[in-house]
Chains A and B, each alone.
Chain A
């Protein structure tokens, strides 16, 4: 009997947490805990999905507001900028081969129609960098097709004067490798390889970044890289 009572209690707890997560009232640490639970427990993810459906009719109250065209920035984040230093992809090579020719545009369009369907892209990798009681969060996206890692600060203050945030990659047992200082809200760094399970970390360093090749200041947030 008491066993059943415990199950019933656990059920109510899980249901309440899922409802509160969707309602949005939880503090950040509990939100992150609920998100992690949803990733590992399909049953809990299903509870969240059910509550999203329950509340969906209220979405009619969100009044549409025309948004500026942010597609260029979004595409730059996802697909990288047209960077002359980077090895061009097939499209880039075709484009430069035809550059300057009067018929360039027509030929490129023709060539694109003749191209075989693109191979399925390798899955993107992501990481959310966060820590308990730390307002700072970053989102990282790695696009294997362009060998580029994009890190975006999603919450929290800028580094205090005289300090800077620095990004580190820790693969397995290896020592941290600097991926550079974070000098903008969103940075993109070339990165030849990144595997699920690697850890990304952000530390607080003197302006210009660590001079020792290893983090010298406190590590503020970390995140484990996972495939989507």
Chain B
């Protein structure tokens, strides 16, 4: 499935085309479900979240602008935002358990597949300009939805220190990406 296909499906969904909506589900639900599972760490909740994500996709499709980014990037942003809102809304104690499971997934080896993809080179290069533990924190936060609290515990630093670390890392990343 090319991104052009997804973009044209989204354009049809924006005109209330239900057949296009079904095609879009077939074409993108696996990727979005994988995203939700990674962040939520719970299949039942990921299934529930997937329903909400596609509800939002139907309602917001007209806002997608193919000139401003790829269709899959737009879809994943909706899925990530919803999944992160859900885990941030969880009572503190259950969040901890799930996040421990998710940490296993943020091992550095995971990025090996990424490096093979040309378009990912830039962000990887820029991540490499960060200190290794800070790059790992950025990756764990983005991919696994880790909170400042979880990151602070993982790296054994006070919460405010973690926030300062990550803010500085993000600004450094931005300078590198936009250089």
- List chain A positions with a Cβ less than 8 A from chain B: 12, 15-16, 19-20, 22-28, 31, 49, 52-68, 70-71, 73-75, 77-79, 118, 121, 124, 126, 135-137, 139, 141, 152, 154-157, 185, 228
Known contacts A58-B143, A124-B59, A185-B48, A71 near B25 by CB under 8 Å = yes
Contact B86 A154 (CB under 8 A): yes
Contact B91 A135 (CB under 8 A): yes
Tell me, in angstroms, the Cα distance from A135 to B124 when the chains sit together. Answer: 36
B interface residues, how many (CB within 8 angstroms): 69
Identify which of B37, B51, B121, B139 contacts A58 (C-beta below 8 A): B139
Kindly provide the distance from the CB of A52 to the nearest chain B CB, expressed in whole angstroms.
5
Contact B114 A61 (CB under 8 A): yes
Residues of A within 8 A of B38 (CB): 62-63
Binary flags per residue of B72-89, CB closer than 8 Å to A gives 1, else 0 = 110011001010111011
Kindly provide the distance from the CB of A74 to the nearest chain B CB, expressed in whole angstroms.
5
- List chain B positions with a Cβ less than 8 A from chain A: 16, 18, 22, 25, 29-35, 37-38, 47-48, 50-52, 54-55, 58-60, 62, 68-70, 72-73, 76-77, 80, 82, 84-86, 88-91, 110-111, 113-114, 117, 119-124, 138-139, 141-143, 145-148, 151, 163, 166-167, 170-171, 173-174, 177
Contact B47 A68 (CB under 8 A): yes
Residues of B within 8 A of A22 (CB): 77, 142
Which label, helix, strand, loop or mixed, suits the secondary structure of the B interface? Answer: helix
Contact B50 A67 (CB under 8 A): yes
Residues of A within 8 A of B110 (CB): 61
Known contacts A61-B114, A67-B33, A19 near B174 by CB under 8 Å = yes
Tell me, in angstroms, the Cα distance from A63 to B37 when the chains sit together. Answer: 9
**A59, A118, A155 — most chain B CB neighbours (10 Å):** A59
Identify which of B30, B48, B114 contacts A57 (C-beta below 8 A): B114
Tell me, in angstroms, the Cα distance from A23 to B148 when the chains sit together. Answer: 11
Residues of B within 8 A of A79 (CB): 18
Kindly provide the distance from the CB of B170 to the nearest chain A CB, expressed in whole angstroms.
4
Identify which of B34, B60, B151, B166 contacts A64 (C-beta below 8 A): B34
Residues of B within 8 A of A62 (CB): 31, 34-35, 38, 76, 143
Residues of A within 8 A of B77 (CB): 22, 52
Tell me, in angstroms, the Cα distance from A65 to B142 when the chains sit together. Answer: 19
Taking CB as reference atom, which chain B residue is nearest A136?
B89
The 4 closest A-B pairs by CB, nearest first: A155-B89, A67-B33, A57-B120, A64-B30
